[in-house]
Homo-oligomer: A and B are copies of this chain.
Amino acid sequence: MVRGEAELFERTAHLFAAATEVSCAARDLHTWSVAHPTAPEREQAVRDTNVRKMYLPGVLFDPALAGHLRFMATHGARIRITEREINETILLDRRIAIVAGDSVGEVRSYTVISSPDLVQGIQSLFEAAWAGATDLESYQARFTELGAREILEQLASGCKDETAARTLGVGLRTYRRRVAELMELLGASSRFQAGARAREAGLL
């Protein structure tokens, strides 16, 4: 059990360096992937390592994150998106598991597990979740082909649904269905919140 990312990194750096298979699930990557960007000299390392990463849909909306994901993807990492709530977890070579706990204030505690049985169990859960997740590409395709751009424009224009639907040449029901999908993707439960998040993610 370690507290804070700094300590986690210090203690596990050698494990990461030696790993040939890294599986990672995360809600976002503000925590550490961004704080510790992959250095150029590590590109080869990424390529040599079997890297799998699984995120919540929200990551698609952070420009910095999206860039990072694209970088990882072009260097051999496999990225998937899951709809389900997941705990942040890292698996190394099927021998080490790192599970994030609750954050107490600003610091987050991490549990490093090496017990084979436990790691095995966690690994199987990860595999199940991985199997149920969607590849980043197809997910992105689904998003872009959604016509999200147009929908967002209409929403941001402040016009009412009926007007927007007519402008886009689509039925009212369909327009609202799109808005609902978009809001789910943004993790928003009100239109105000959706507007704020869309803007936050630089989608406007």
Contacts and interface: CB of A to CB of B under 8 A. Distances in A.
Interface of A: 155-160, 188-200, 204
A158 B199 contact: no
A199 B198 CA distance: 9
A54 to B, nearest CB: 24
Nearest to A203: B196
In the assembly, how many copies of this chain are there? Answer: 2
Given A156-B192, A195-B195, 17 more contacts: A155-B190, A155-B192, A155-B193, A155-B196, A156-B193, A158-B192, A158-B193, A159-B189, A191-B192, A192-B195, A195-B196, A195-B197, A195-B198, A196-B196, A196-B199, A197-B199, A199-B199
Contacts of A160: 190
Chain A binding site: helix, strand, loop or mixed by DSSP? helix
A183 to B, nearest CB: 9
A204 B196 contact: yes
A192 B189 contact: no
A102 to B, nearest CB: 20
A192 B155 CA distance: 6
A193 B155 CA distance: 7
Q: Identify which of A157, A190, A196, A200 gathers the most chain B CB atoms within 10 Å of its CB.
A: A196
Contacts of A197: 195, 199
Contacts of A204: 196, 200
Contact of A190 (B158, B188, B198, B199): B158
A34 to B, nearest CB: 20
The 5 closest A-B pairs by CB, nearest first: A195-B195, A199-B199, A158-B189, A158-B193, A195-B196
B189 A156 contact: no
A29 to B, nearest CB: 21
Contacts of A191: 190-192, 195
A191 to B, nearest CB: 4
A195 B199 contact: yes
